[in-house]
Structure formats: C-alpha cells, structure tokens
Structure 1
Amino acid sequence: VTLARAVEMKHSASLIAALSHETSQLYQKADDALQSLDIKVVGKWRKYFQLKCEFYKAYAYCYQGETLLAQDKCGEAVRGLQEGVKCYEKSEALCREYASAKGLGTFARPANHLFFRKLGPVLKRTLEKCERENGMIYHQKVAYDPPILELKATYGLAAPEPYTPPALNPLWSKEVYEKMNSKMAPKPQEDKEKKDKPAELPPVKEKETPMSEKDPGNFSGCVLS
C-alpha cells in the first residue's frame, strides 16, 4: 500500500525505488524464515514470497534507472534496467509455479493483476529509452555488475521519534538487588494437563479473496481505500 500510494502521489523515483527494495527485502526475509519447515506445508507460501521479492526488486531497478538517467548516469541506468527485466521475467516464471503449486495458502493470480502487468512494458520502454540516449548522447560504458540498490528509504517519510527510557527509581539500589534471592521464590505447581502432548491443530482454511476481472482506473493499478 505504501508503494502504491507513493506511485499514485507521484513521489520521486528515488523514493519509490528505495521503498520497492525495502519491500523486496521483507519478502526475502519471510522466505528465509520458512526454509527449515516442511516444503509440503509451506511450499506454496514460499513461492508467493519469492515471486513478490523478485517483482519488487524489478520495481526498484525500474525507478532507480529513472533516477540514474536524471543524474546523467546512463550507463548505470542501462545496467540496472537490464537487471530489472531479468527480475521481472523471473517473477513471471514464479507466478506460473505458484499458480500450479499445491499446499496451504490462498489462491491468487498475481500475474493477472494490473499492478504486475504494467511493470513489464514500463521496464522495457525505460530500458529502450536509456539505451537509445546512451548510444546517441552519453556513450557511457555499461558496467558488468548492476548498481547497488538503496537499502532503506530514509527520506520523504515521517521520521520516528527517539525513545527515551524513564529514569530509575532511587529505591532500586544495588543493595536491594543483592538481597534478592531467586531460590526463595515459590515454585509453580506442575499441571498434569500441561505434561500431556498437545493436540494437533487442524489446518486453517484460507478465506478466498474475490478478485475482479476489471482493472482499476488509476496509474498504479492498485485500489487504495
């Protein structure tokens, strides 16, 4: 929602790129957290996290390319956009794998969403524009490695207020802590019911989210309430 709102509000391309990369990292962490679990149970969710990670990474490279072009760094823009196209194509393949994957999780069709479909043509148009301008105007070398994406969006957003812990009460002195003995604390009574093996919980049935075939009539392709 934050990213779609930034696109709708026409924020700077550098801010959108940073937000996209930050969102991609969140999905990557979610996928990493499920690595040790049974693939039969979490396999579908992992595919979903992977495709979202690659999609938002492609989004980040797309808007980073616009930022670099505005800074006359056309060679870096071309390389970043090339990487963005690769990420988008990878997310398309993951969309197909996700649609055919079996397991727990809601059924969605991210490849049919306008927010997803719009990025591919935008990426290719921006790449063609940068390649054309680099060949006619800048003549800059295209690097082998893609440019580094900004790790965190630290500008254009509300900054968190620093937390200041309250001062310690003078009654809690060193002598008071030394007089405390954990062995004197009453031991909790053992509950026989807790010793028994907990019953297995049934799998949660995901609620289907209805998807409209009609595309939203806005720029980002997302419905903001």
Structure 2
Amino acid sequence: MLTLTLIGIGTGNPDHLTLQAIKALNAADLILIPRKQGKEDLADLRRTICAEVISNPATAIAEFDLPTRDLATPDYRQRVDDWHDAIAAVWTQAIAAHQGPTTKVALLVWGDPSLYDSTLRIAARLSPAPHIEVIPGITSIQALTAAHALTLNEIGAPFTITTGRRLRDEGFPQGVDTCVVMLDGECAFQSLAPEGIQIWWGAYVGMAEQITLTGPLAEITPQILQTRAEARARHGWIMDIYLLRRG
C-alpha cells in the first residue's frame, strides 16, 4: 500500500522543521512540490528545504502545477469541492508518472496540516486510498505569537480562531476577548468598531521577509493597510495573520 506522508513545514524556514519531519523527508521515495501561479517563491522555499535537509540520494522530487479554482461556479462549497477533485487528480498523475518505487510519497504542507488547510481532505479523495501519515508543523499562529513575544490566551481564558470572512459577516466572536484571524484577504478588521481593541499583525511570519505591527486598532489600521499593500506589490503575494484582543 502507498503511504502518503503530509509534512508540516511551518512558514518555509528550514529551521522550523522538526527532526521527525527531516527523517520523513529522507525516508520518502518521492516528494511532491506544487507550483502555484503568481506564488513561485513558495515552490522555491520548498526546494530550498529539500536541498538543505535531504541527504538520501534515492529520494526523488516531482513538481506539478496546482489547478486554479473555477470562480464561475456560483456555489462556494461546490467550487471548493471541484477544486479539491482537480488537485487530487494531479497528485495521482504525478505519482503515477514517477518511474521509480513509490511506496512512500511525501508532500510539504505550510504550517500544520490540521489548521485551515485542505491537504487532508484532498488526500482522502485519492483512489486507491493510501495510508496517510501526518507530521505536525509550526503553525502561523505560533509564528505570530513568537514574533510578538505574546501569549495566545489570557489566564484561564478561551480564545477563538476564525477567518476574515466570518469576522466581516459576524463581527468579533461572542464569549471571548481574544481571536486570531486567518485567511483574510480584505482586512476584515476594518469592519469592527475599533475602540478598545488591540491588534498584533504579521505578514510572512517566520520568514526572512517578516513584517510585524501592533497597536490600538483605531490608530494603527491605516499603517497596516499601507504596509500590507506595499508588501504585496513588492512580492506579488502576501500571507498575513493577526490577533485581536479586547479590553
């Protein structure tokens, strides 16, 4: 049976890899590296990681172009399902095209495969179904709080992890004073009444390009918007995350 190992690689910094991840990479027959249009740097980071930590000459690398999501489909969930089907098909083709042994295949996953990532859902679509193993990685949340030397929760208090879309549509989560916001391409914090809210924002956290800003939301919002726009124009893409705290 084929074993598919999903390896959390943090934010692409080779120093973020665990010893378990390095061992899994060296044990793989084949490593899959996706290429995404407009985000060539992400494939470069995966290549750098492989070059730095793989010492097994028998480990092969196969690259493939990641399918794009069909925005013409009106139903959001259907768009995502169709996209995941297309990605699973490309994985299958890349594995089948490899001429050597493919008992163990690995795929490098940003952050950790358990947090706002669909790699596990895509892997479940493969046929025949492989045995799936997961190597945990440093999440962008951990990288953000480390960059700001910040505790994620207050003493004995809960917190919420949510998305930019839900923050925009539903407001600050009820029942908590701390929330972490991911997948926010439109800076949804602008939709909140900013009084009494502090923000800790970071882009490319854990990478060489890391940018961090913090302050009262009412005061620092224009600076975050300008900094984010400039960074996106400079790199061609941006990955950012932020923590909001009331009180």
After TM superposition, is the score higher than 0.5? Answer: no
Q: Which one has more relative contact order, counting CA pairs under 8 Å at least 6 apart?
A: 1
